[in-house]
Amino acid sequence: MTHSDAPTTEFAWTAMGGDPRLVPRLSTVVRSGALEARLPVRELARACVGACALAAAELGARRAGLAEVPEVRVDDGAVATAFVSERHLLVDGRAPVAFAPLSRFWRTADGWVRTHANYPHHRARLLGALGLPSGASVEAVAGCLAERSAVEVEDAVYAAGGLAVALRTPEEWARHEQGAAVAGQPLVERGTLGSAVPRRLPPLAGDPLSPAAGLRVLDLTRVIAGPVATRTLALLGADVLRVDPPGLPELADQHTDTGFGKRSATLDLTAGHHDRQVFEELLASADVVVTGYRPGALDRFGLSAEALAERRPGIVVGQLSAWGAYGPWGGRRGFDSLVQVATGIASIEGSEEKPGALPAQALDHGTGYLLAAGVLRAVTEGLDEGGTRFVRPALARTAAWLTAGDAAGRGGATAEASRGGTTTASGSSEGSSEGSSEGSYSDSGSAEASYGDPAPWLAEADSALGRLRYALPPVSFAGGPGDWSRPPGPWGADSPRWV
């Protein structure tokens, strides 16, 4: 990693294969106090959203026959609010539960370990690996872990199919075989598999409002990062159908937060099952498949990028993972909180007394927007060049980008703010509650507005789940959408068919 790899929109955009001459089309509303941390979280979040918005504007201009890509606006207030969308969600006034009691940091005999046990099956595997009964208390788990080393716990829980990661410093992660493998990869892996005729999409009649209109997206993701990507594609007009196995329901509040704009169905893909035939019919007319399971988990269903290239030439395949599909941890499960612990982020953000955490699940949200940006760019490239295209981001690779250097990150952001097309806000009312690209811009030099009350970037809507308060989308460009066309519905309640 070098200083030039620091979190800037220009770096993210060029990593997607974007034309650097389009970067000046983007302007930034800078707000101090947004996503404050020791690491450049605000800059990373801004860069991920900016690259996604620019990719959307580029595709919209292409399909609408515009001579120039619409202006893109990134507001730190909108970005900071969206990056903690799960915390702003209210369902009939009720706030969601973020982490289960056994999802936390624990002291071990030689350091710290963090576990993830939000899902019942992960909780059961954690307790089984520790030799504890299913109803074990927090105190019992703490006593058990205090007698073991952090790496011993990490290995034992992983072997049982659970989730636990030992705390490492950035230097320790750099020496780890997986850390070295991740550092050697591009920010987002991109490529073409096989040949296919260039994609044909209907024109948008001079209106770039919905650049992804007409795209059919099979959403095979879970938790936050993948669903954020597909939620963004739905915002931009894609027909997004999330498909889950019937015996593995998503956490209700998590589904609500990331389900805007989509439909949700369940299908059992077990070989020979009737649902498999239904899935194959959906796949036969899909334009994009996005997966968020650990690498290799869906290969038995013919859903590797290579298999999809043979069965559905010309499709775009987005594949999200925690650790990357390479190295000794390439097949492991993982979540944002655990990647923070392994890669040194928790060490940087913590103290001598206890590890810390980022002000948002920024690896999840940031990687989600990078994934959406990669899909949009792949669609744009396919209009000219054809081919089956794949996009592969990883939470650990986004973490490597974030930790490339605190000084480098903040210096890069300052440089970005000094380039043409970047603006600062003159007041906290700059953000429109509609999330549109309209509004006044300030040319007040290096002055910054502050980020405090997130109200300008929150909205409310009725839904089948109740009255929702939610964070508005941060992806904004001139003529682009300001909100999703539909609220989320109950998990698995929709028919498995395209609109």
pLDDT in tens, 34-44: 999 999 999 99
Looking at residue 16, the DSSP 8-state letter turns out to be T
Q: For residue 488, which of 234, 209, 216, 218 has the smallest C-alpha distance?
A: 234
Instruction: Give the three-class secondary structure for 146.
Output: coil
Q: What pLDDT was estimated at residue 291?
A: 95
Strands 388-392, 316-319: pairing kind: parallel
pLDDT at 365: 98
Residue 393: DSSP 8-state? -
Cα gap 289→283, rounded to integer Å: 8
What are the residue ranges of helices labelled H in 386-446? 395-402, 406-418
If we measure between CA atoms, which residue out of 26, 34, 36 comes closest to residue 82? Answer: 34
Count CA within 13 A, CB hemisphere, residue 232: 33
- Quote the pLDDT of residue 98: 73
* pLDDT at residue 202 in the model: 85
pLDDT at 405: 63
Please list the helix, strand and coil fractions of the chain in percent, rounded to the nearest 5, in that order: 40, 15, 45
- Inter-residue contact 60 to 70 (CB < 8 Å): yes
pLDDT of 28: 94
pTM (two decimals): 0.90
> CA 80 to CA 246: how far, in whole Å?
34
Nearest to 343 by CA among 228, 175, 188: 175
Neighbours of 222 (CB within 10 A): 21
Half-sphere exposure of 418 (CA within 13 A, CB side): 6
Question: What residues have CB less than 8 Å from 397, skipping those under 6 apart?
Answer: 182, 185, 186, 187, 188, 324
pLDDT score for 205: 76
Task: Please give the Cα distance from 342 to 268 (Å, whole number).
Answer: 34
Task: Write the single-letter amino acid at 309.
Answer: A
Ranges in the chain, pLDDT < 50: 1-3, 406-447
